[in-house]
Amino acid sequence: MKVVLLGYMASGKSTVGKELASKNNVAFIDLDQEIEKQENLSIAEIFSEKGEIYFRKKETEVLKRLLQEDKNLVLSLGGGTPCYGNNMQLVNESNYNSFYIKLSIPVIVARLTNEKTTRPLVAQIGVADLPEFVGKHLFERNTFYQQAKHTITADSLTVAETVTQIEELV
């Protein structure tokens, strides 16, 4: 099983990825956590100390390495990963099946409202402004997300149901 999960923050990429990997006895890697491990810094620290350009270069480098290893793996990308450089091209030219976990704006906003303290990108945004923020981001990123080989519309799906849909398509 070779799967790459992508989608907006709070779409469930890591939760679904861990469950999918565990159920199929393959490794799970969260790209952001892999970068943090390599750099010995959090993503927020990398951004503040080394800048976004450095982070995006490192992100592409680690993504390329993981895809070239070509082993059974469930890989969860950061929400912005598909949108930079040639990252989606790298994913789609690999032997991995890519899945866009698609959620509606209201579902994403509800999840982010509950996770604001753990999401630096939205921590400073008022709850009333979240729908516009998410909508704008999704509009900008949708072109990249739609390049995934498969789309799972997960608004009304449980984690287990999402995992099952992915398994049926692999």
Q: What is the CATH number of the domain that holds 112?
A: 3.40.50.300
Residue 115 placed within a domain:
yes
Written as tens digits, the pLDDT of the chain (170 aa) is 999 999 998 999 999 999 999 999 999 999 999 999 999 998 888 888 998 899 999 999 999 999 998 789 999 999 999 999 999 999 999 999 999 999 999 999 998 887 766 666 776 788 888 999 999 999 999 999 999 999 999 999 999 999 999 999 99
Residue 43 placed within a domain:
yes
Show binding-site residues: 10-15, 32, 56, 79, 119, 141
Q: Which domain holds residue 118?
A: 2-156
pLDDT for res 116? 60
pLDDT for res 114? 76
Show binding-site residues for Mg(2+): 14
The pTM of this model reads: 0.92
Residue 139 placed within a domain:
yes
CB-based burial label for 125 (10 Å; 0-12, 13-18, 19+): middle
CA nearest neighbour of 29 among 64, 56, 53, 5 = 5
Show binding-site residues for ATP: 10-15, 119
Residue 79 placed within a domain:
yes
Residue 55 placed within a domain:
yes
Residue 169 placed within a domain:
no
pLDDT for res 27? 97
Show binding-site residues for substrate: 32, 56, 79, 141
DSSP assignment of 49-94 equals HH-HHHHHHHHHHHHHHHHHH--SEEEEPPTTGGGSTTHHHHHHHS
Number of folded domains that form the chain = 1
CA–CA dist 159, 170 (Å, integer): 17
pLDDT for res 40? 96
Residue 168 placed within a domain:
no
Residue 92 placed within a domain:
yes
